[in-house]
Amino acid sequence: MSLPARKAPAGGAGVRRWVVTIVVSVVALVLTLVVISLSVGSSLPRTSLQDYLPVGVTVLGKLSSSERADGNANGTAIGEEPLQGVREPLVEQNGQGGYLNSGQPSPLTRKIESKEPDPVASGDTTSTPDEDSSNESQKAEQGTCDLYHGEWVLDSSGPLYTNNSCPIITQMQNCQGNGRPDKEYENWRWKPEQCILPRFDARKFLELMRGKTLAFVGDSVARNQMESLVCLLWQVDVPQNRGNKRMHKWLFKSTSTTIARVWSSWLVHRSTEAVGIAPKGIDKVFLDVPDETFMEFLPRFDVIVLSSGHWFAKRSAYVLNGNVVGGQLWWPRQAGKMQMNNVDAFGVSVETCLTAVATNPNFTGLAIVRTWSPDHYEGGAWNTGGSCTGKVKPLDEVVRNGFTDAMYGKQVEGFRKAVKNAGQQGSQLKLMDITEPFAFRADGHPGPYRSPDPNKKTQRGPDGKPPPQDCLHWCMPGPVDTWNEMLLETIRREFERERG
Give dist(CA 331, CA 349) in Å, integer. Answer: 19
Between CA 361 and CA 370, with CA 366 as vertex, the angle to 5 degrees is 125
Active site residue 220: yes
Can 291 be counted among the known catalytic residues?
no
Name the active-site residue from 269, 310, 376, 473: 473
Residue 396 annotated as catalytic: no
488, 204 Cβ separation under 8 angstroms: yes
End-to-end CA distance of the chain: 107
What's the rounded Cα separation, in Å, for the pair 294 and 292?
6
CA–CA distance, 165 with 168 (Å, rounded to integer) = 9
How far is Cα 416 from Cα 413, in angstroms, rounded to an integer? 5
CB 324 within 8 A of CB 365: no
Question: What is the distance between the alpha carbons of residues 368 and 225, in angstroms, rounded to a whole number?
Answer: 13
Whole-number Å distance between alpha carbons of 309 and 370: 11
Using CA atoms, how far residue 499 sits from 492, 493, 494, 495, 496, in Å, is: 11, 10, 9, 6, 5
Strand partners, 191: 151
Q: Which residues lie across from 105 on neighbouring strands?
A: 401
Given the residues 291, 344, 375, 470, the one annotated as active site = 470
Q: Which residue in the list 37, 102, 114, 220 is annotated as catalytic?
A: 220
Instruction: Supply the residues annotated as catalytic.
Output: 220, 470, 473
